[in-house]
Amino acid sequence: MQNHRLTSKLWVDAHVRTCHIAGCPAFVVSRGDGERGGILLKVNRFAAGVDLYELSRDFDGNRIWRRLGPEAGEPESDADGRILKKRKFDSDLWVIEIEDMGGKYVCDAPVSAL
């Protein structure tokens, strides 16, 4: 059976473009493995704090975003500390920063708490 999953690089490139079109500037902060690297989103809502999401799968194999950190957002320095710890553990991890001053960004899959 052949697996038809998108590569990490292709998904990241498409998501960055989609964010720009939606008016949320997005940037690749750290590049990971192009084929199967994990993906972490840093959604910077500025005064409202930073939300971190890690791409994962539920028990049925469906894509979900796992929230890392508090639901109300956290200071950017705390979020950057979480990212640094994750990158030390997994150097293949992609990190995308999305600037969302207007609170418009919505993840493209369901969000689950850790």
Question: Which residue ranges make up each domain of the chain?
Answer: 8-113
**Nearby residues of 111 by Cβ (< 8 Å), 6 or more positions away:** 53, 64, 65, 66, 67
| Structure token digits, residue 103 | 């609170």
Paired strand residues for 66: 54, 112
Residue 98 confidence class, pLDDT cut points 50, 70, 90: very high
pTM as predicted:
0.92
Which pLDDT tens digit goes with each residue over 21-59?
999 999 999 999 999 999 999 999 999 999 999 999 999
The pLDDT of residue 6 is: 87
Residues 93/55, Cβ–Cβ less than 8 Å: no
Q: How far apart are CA 58 and CA 39, in angstroms?
A: 15
Helices (H), the chain: 8-21, 76-89
The pLDDT of residue 4 is: 65
Q: Is the pLDDT of residue 14 over 60?
A: yes
The pLDDT of residue 1 is: 46
Of residues 1 and 84, the one with the higher pLDDT is 84
CATH code 2.60.120.10 for 8-113:
no
Question: What's the mean pLDDT in 7-29?
Answer: 96
